Chains A and B, each alone.
Chain A
Amino acid sequence: MATEGKIDPMHQFEVQPIFDGFTLFGQQIDFTNSALWMFVVLVLLYVFMMGGMKRELVPGRWQVMVEGVVGFIDNIIANSIGPNGKKYTPWVFTLFMFILFSNLLGMMPFGIIPGIHPFTVTSQFTVTGLLAAISFSIVLIVGFWKHGFKFFSLFIPHGTPVWMMPLIFSVELLSFLVRPFSLALRLFVAMIAGHILIKVFASFVVQAIDAGGASWGIALLSILFIAFVSALELLVCAIQAYVFALLTSLYISDAENLH
């Protein structure tokens, strides 16, 4: 927790119950600030998509935007999975849009409004981990459903000499099992790192102004740096959403089109 007069860069990632919920399977389910922002993401996403539902022959700006996003996801699927990938479009779309909106919403300067504490849903490893786990489960289920035990041939690339097979198999299996963690960690770390960086430099600004005198230069420099990192973070927000969606579809492609 932030102590009086100091900025704790980790405070922004704390999940706090807004009101108490109920108990499910021995777990206390509270409505938290994290849940609140998830629903904000949901509402924003719904509003965004409704703007594209006018279904006009000659689209307006908003409809072009929505159709562009949908076409973008369709392209990812078509390029990495191929014609069989149509049935995975909803999941990849869900991933991409949820992560993109969460990332961008976390970057919005809502903090200047008193009483509102912005929260980046995707900076929680619980959230990114669950998303990655669902993606990985889809890969496993599709892989074993479609190919049975032949799915293990994924871990032996073509042309592997027989005596190399055990080694290659274990290495490939390891890299396969690491996938969900790398998927979840990449997004989580990217989001948390950027936010911490901004907060740390923000605390520099406060401390430099408190110190007074020549420290004003440091404060100015820090503000410039915050602006720079914020711009970079906006880019990272989009890139991380894209990477998550792209890697998910590539992993699904492994299961769908086993070589």
Chain B
Amino acid sequence: MEVYGSQFFWLLIVIGIIYFGIAKNMVPKISKTVDDRQKRISDDLAAAQAGQDKAEQIEADYRASINDARADAVSKVNEAKAKVAKKNEAAIKRADTAIAKKADEADAALKAAQSEAMKEIEAVAAEAAQAIVKTVSGAKVTATDAKKAVKAAF
């Protein structure tokens, strides 16, 4: 019978040491280590996710700015093209008018030269006609009559 007493006594001491020394003292620290590690892992994963989001954001911004710049360039090119076309048109118009003016002048000069030539020819023809008539018929024709006749013949 005396065995029960010592069994209970030593068991209570050992169980007490395990309970208060190990289970109450060491186990929570171990649990905390596990929890900390889990937290660290999830934190790291969250940080990685945030980094990736940031990178994607930066890429999107970059793409947007590239697209903006491209659109800007295209519109500038178009503008420049339009400006140049306008300038060319104006220049062509100016050149056209200048050419037309020159052509008119030349035309006028030609006409003047023609009428001058005509007059000379008439004069020469009248003189010739006067001379021919004098020689052929001996009649005297006045210069004025000859001139009149030549003009009529022309």
Interface residues of A (CB under 8 A from B): 15, 17, 21, 24-25, 27-32, 34-35, 38-39, 41-42, 45-46, 49-50, 52-53, 55, 57, 59, 66-67, 70-71, 73-74, 89-91, 93-94, 97-98, 121, 124, 126-127, 130-131, 134
Contacts and interface: CB of A to CB of B under 8 A. Distances in A.
B30 A130 contact: no
Contacts of A39: 10, 14
B3 A126 contact: yes
A67 to B, nearest CB: 5
B22 A29 contact: no
B19 to A, nearest CB: 5
Contacts of B26: 49-50, 52-53
Contacts of B24: 90
5 contacts: A27-B9, A30-B2, A89-B27, A124-B7, A130-B8
A178 to B, nearest CB: 22
Contacts of B5: 24-25, 27-29
B27 A90 contact: yes
Nearest to B3: A15
Interface stretch (B32-40, B49-57, B61-69, B127-135): B32-40
Contact of A98 (B6, B15, B27, B40): B15
A31 B30 contact: no
Contact of B34 (A25, A67, A131, A134): A67
Nearest to B33: A55
Nearest to B30: A70
Contacts of B2: 27-28, 30
Contacts of B14: 35, 38-39, 41-42, 98
B29 interface: yes
Contacts, number: 113
Given A57-B37, A93-B27, 17 more contacts: A15-B6, A17-B6, A27-B2, A27-B6, A28-B2, A31-B6, A31-B10, A35-B14, A39-B10, A42-B14, A45-B18, A46-B22, A59-B37, A70-B30, A74-B31, A90-B24, A124-B7
B29 A91 contact: no
Contact of B22 (A15, A27, A30, A45): A45
Contacts of B15: 94, 98, 131, 134
A94 B18 CA distance: 6
A127 B23 contact: no
Nearest to B8: A130
A93 to B, nearest CB: 4
A34 B7 contact: yes
B123 to A, nearest CB: 126
Given A35-B6, A98-B14, A67 B30 contact: yes
Nearest to B12: A130
B58 interface: no
Contacts of B27: 49, 70, 73, 89-90, 93
A230 to B, nearest CB: 26
Interface string B90-111: 0000000000000000000000
A38 B14 CA distance: 7
B30 A35 contact: no
A42 B17 contact: yes
A139 B61 CA distance: 64
Contacts of A126: 3-4, 7-8, 11
Contact of A90 (B3, B6, B19, B29): B19
Contacts of A59: 37
B144 to A, nearest CB: 135
A41 B33 CA distance: 25
